[in-house]
């Protein structure tokens, strides 16, 4: 990794995480509802047999209601389980009572692991991001987990990053291992596709 790029990414992460901590709870709750409703209304989501989604924690755009709503309407939902090397294994989401605290503090499904490649069966993959730029470059937390996931997917798989409206920025630093998302979903702006 280029040292200047690493410093730039770290600066972005620090600023974005601080802004999320300062975001009022009522704004986060309203954003979660808007994101859930917008995603559930997408034709691709209505037709999807399988959706893979991160399970939010802390101040991330919440997927709690989204995962539950997808599951309740009969969509097969895959959720990640963190492996020791920061790669992601996947397991069936079977509702909110089927979750446990994972090694990194976030919720994880208790169902049997289905392997790192299980995500390839998903019609839609919902990924976390701290910010996304105007070309689909996504800034994550720095562990590389979702860059590995995105690298495994077919290029036509709909990958959507959930971010708050002010986390869409003109340009983010990117490196060769960074994988772009195909779309973003924001509370006020809805879905925006990049390619």
Query: Which pLDDT band, with edges at 50, 70 and 90, does 5 fall under?
Result: confident
What is 3-193's CATH number, 3.40.190.10, 3.40.50.10420, 3.90.950.20, 3.90.76.10? Answer: 3.40.50.10420
Note every long-range contact of 93-97, with CB atoms under 8 Å and residues 24 or more positions apart, other chains counting: 93/53, 93/55, 93/67, 95/68, 95/71, 96/64, 96/68
Question: pLDDT digits over 6-22, tens only?
Answer: 778 889 999 999 999 99
Distance of alpha carbon 144 from alpha carbon 48, whole angstroms: 26
Neighbouring residues of 94: CB distance < 8 A, sequence distance ≥ 6? 71, 109, 110, 111
Domain ranges of the chain: 3-193
pTM strictly above 0.85: yes
For residue range 169-184, list pLDDT tens digits in order. 999 988 878 899 999 9
């Amino acid at each position: 990794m280029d040292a200047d790029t690493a410093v730039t990414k770290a600066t972005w992460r620090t600023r974005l995480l601080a802004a999320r901590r300062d975001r009022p709870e009522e704004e986060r709750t309203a954003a979660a509802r808007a994101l859930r409703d917008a995603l559930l209304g997408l034709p691709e989501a209505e037709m999807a047999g399988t959706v893979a989604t991160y399970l939010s924690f802390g101040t991330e755009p919440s997927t709690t209601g989204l995962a539950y709503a997808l599951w309740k309407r009969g969509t097969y939902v895959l959720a990640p389980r963190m492996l020791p090397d920061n790669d992601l294994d996947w397991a069936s989401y079977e509702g909110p009572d089927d979750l446990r605290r994972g090694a990194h503090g976030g919720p994880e499904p208790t169902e049997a692991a289905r392997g790192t490649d299980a995500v390839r069966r998903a019609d839609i993959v919902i990924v976390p991001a701290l910010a996304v730029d105007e070309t689909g470059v996504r800034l994550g937390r720095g562990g590389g987990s979702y860059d590995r996931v995105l690298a495994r997917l077919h290029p036509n798989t709909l990958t959507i990053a959930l971010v708050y409206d002010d986390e869409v920025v003109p340009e983010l630093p990117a490196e060769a291992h960074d994988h772009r998302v195909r779309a973003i979903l924001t509370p006020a702006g809805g879905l925006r596709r990049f390619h």
